[in-house]
Structure 1
Amino acid sequence: MIKTIASAITMMALFATPAAAEVKTMTEQGFSTLHAADVLAKPEDVWKRLLAPKDWWNPSHSWSGSTEGFYIDPQAGGCFCELFQEKDKDGKIVTKGSVEHMRVIFAQPAKVLRMRGSLGPLQAEAVTGTLTVAMEPLKSGAGTRVSFSYVVGGYMRFKTADIGPAVDAVLREQFDRMIKPLGKVVGNESGDAPDTDKKKEAKPDVEPPVKTETESLEKRTGLDEVVEAIEPEPKVGKPEAVEPDTGETAEQPE
């Protein structure tokens, strides 16, 4: 079992190689990481794999040294937890403790699983982390875009420049282990996460009204130019000379 923050961060730092550092954003208050790939499996198969963390989470990053007690309850309020299990003298598995890694706050099967929690050594700090696991069918129908997006913020005694890449490296490892048996789509990986908040544009039920010539002109040139085009200002030329009125009557010729 990991007993101290120091030993936990040392374990995480073992994987913090420059090649693995893919932190997306970082400030003194927090950081965010993102890992995404296109896999050959259907979203339903990715979801099933995701909900069995004992099969893909690395035991080296557990508190008990084993992932046999790992599970995710995929509903709001559900737990991504780890049970400390041992065999008693009769060889029966008994639970001797437990730890909560994260808490489920959003669950939509085969689409999105969002959990909140501070992983590893972050658990002892005044920070919160939100992990969004998203799945979206590829437009080609060849598989699924899957991603891990983890956002961390708050007060902690670690420097984000140190802990950010370490956490990112560990999540990258777990992400790779989860998708490995699903098979990657070759040459079709962008690194972007599925847009879980995307709103589809609704098509109008009726035909749009026909625009008048004035409206079309307004769209092309702007309101001022429309007014000028429809009601052009009169051109101002040089005024004709007018002789002043002196009040005297001009003499008429006899």
Structure 2
Amino acid sequence: MRTAIICAAGYLAFASPAFAEVKASSDTGFNVVHIASVQASPDDIWKRLIAPKDWWNKSHSWSGSTDGFYIDAQANGCFCELFQEKGADGKVKTVGSVEHMRVIFAQPGKVLRMQGGLGPLQSEAVTGTLTVAMEPSKDGQATKISFSYVVGGYMRYKVNEIAPAVDTVLGDQFRRLLKPFTPATEEAPSADGFSLDVENLEDAKPSEGDEKAPDVKSESDAGDEQAATPN
């Protein structure tokens, strides 16, 4: 089985400029982000996304093959890999399996969020959360897509060594996912201001001019108040 999360030599390069970096790191975790814009609809990207056997790099599988890869794109669904081999009768049978990640949020064409430690992180006491977000352009001709992987907890790796390795491998998967689609821009998209980037969530604020709704009291409430008022 191949458990190393180092970069495989000669991985496919994505033709479009893309934003990629270890966005944050500390002694206990890190965040890597990849963003690109392609000429494709969110639905087209989603269909390819949930068929990882078509784009995941087999060099980063446990079985050496992606034939048994699948994503059950619903809450508590599995991003899993089946170990398959041919029996004496020539039929393919499953002889084992491994969970790469677990789906915790799925909104087709918008967001797929999964939790799990990829590669050697699976054996560590960490939580890894991968958010795949998609946002169509205003004219509907392109889609901005991002991978944001946040890892935190105790690990037996040095963050300054494992974070760049994870960034490289995740970037490889990101490029392979987007390989069939034409780049939509000649400039690398910015990570700032991406409405589906969950790094800077804020509570919704009322719009200007919104008035506070008046308190509405029921007849029973009014009666209770009257009864409580001394004569």
Regarding TM over 0.5, the answer is yes
Aligned residue number for residue 118 of structure 1? 117
Aligned residue number for residue 175 of structure 1? 174
Cα contact 1:38–1:188 (8 A) shared by 2 = no
Cα contact 2:125–2:153 (8 A) shared by 1 = yes
Find the aligned partners of 1:113 and 1:50 in 2 and give their Cα distance.
Answer: 9
Aligned residue number for residue 12 of structure 1? 6
Does 2:195 align with 1:195?
yes
The residue identity in structure 2 corresponding to 1:127 is V
What displacement does 1:182 show? 1.5
Aligned residue number for residue 149 of structure 1? 148
Higher helix share: 1
Find the aligned partners of 1:170 and 1:51 in 2 and give their Cα distance.
Answer: 18
Q: TM-score, normalised by structure 2?
A: 0.79
Aligned CA distance change for structure 1 residues 128 and 93 (closer, same or farther; 3 Å): same
Alignment of 1:1-254 (within 5 A): 1-2=1-2, 8-9=3-4, 12-14=6-8, 22-192=21-191, 194-196=194-196
Identity of aligned residues (%): 61
Q: Look at both structures and tell me which one has the larger radius of gyration over its CA atoms.
A: 1
Higher strand share: 2
| RMSD (Å), alpha carbons | 2.3
SS where residue 118 of structure 1 aligns? coil
Structure with greater contact order relative to length (CA < 8 Å, sep ≥ 6): 2
Cα contact 2:33–2:147 (8 A) shared by 1 = yes
Cα contact 1:130–1:152 (8 A) shared by 2 = yes
Find the aligned partners of 1:71 and 1:200 in 2 and give their Cα distance.
Answer: 40
Aligned residues: 197
Q: TM-score, normalised by structure 1?
A: 0.72
Aligned CA distance change for structure 1 residues 126 and 205 (closer, same or farther; 3 Å): closer
Cα contact 1:51–1:72 (8 A) shared by 2 = yes
Find the aligned partners of 1:202 and 1:58 in 2 and give their Cα distance.
Answer: 46
Find the aligned partners of 2:38 and 2:72 in 1 and give their Cα distance.
Answer: 24
Cα contact 2:20–2:32 (8 A) shared by 1 = no
